[in-house]
């Protein structure tokens, strides 16, 4: 997976909220938050809030709806960062 600073920080945020240790260890860009990483909806809210704080961005509902897997989330984050 991408080793950019954004990706590394993102991995740290996900590590705090992971639901499945083994799935997190083999996480790829295609890993689904709910089905693969077993991050429940309450923890997904925490992930979103942590991302907003870490990158000083605001994620609207449309952006959050797109964040179904790791790759999509990174794309949304990078887009929001570039819009700042």
- What is the structure's pLDDT at 43? 85
Superfamily in which the 5-83 domain is placed by CATH: ACP-like (1.10.1200.10)
**CA-CA distance, 69 to 81, in Å (whole number)?**
18
- pTM for the structure as a whole: 0.78
Question: Does the pLDDT of residue 37 top 90, yes or no?
Answer: no
Q: pLDDT band at 53, cuts 50/70/90?
A: very high
**CA-CA distance, 28 to 1, in Å (whole number)?**
6
Tell me the domain boundaries of the chain: 5-83
**CA-CA distance, 60 to 52, in Å (whole number)?**
10
């Amino acid at each position: 997976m991408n080793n950019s600073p954004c990706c590394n920080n993102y991995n740290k945020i996900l590590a705090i909220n992971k639901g499945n240790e083994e799935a997190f260890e083999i996480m790829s860009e295609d890993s689904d938050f709910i089905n693969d990483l077993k991050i429940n909806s309450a923890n997904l809210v925490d992930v979103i809030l942590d991302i907003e704080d870490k990158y000083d961005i605001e994620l609207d509902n449309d952006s959050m709806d797109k964040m179904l897997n790791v790759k999509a989330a990174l794309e949304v984050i990078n887009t929001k960062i570039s819009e700042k």
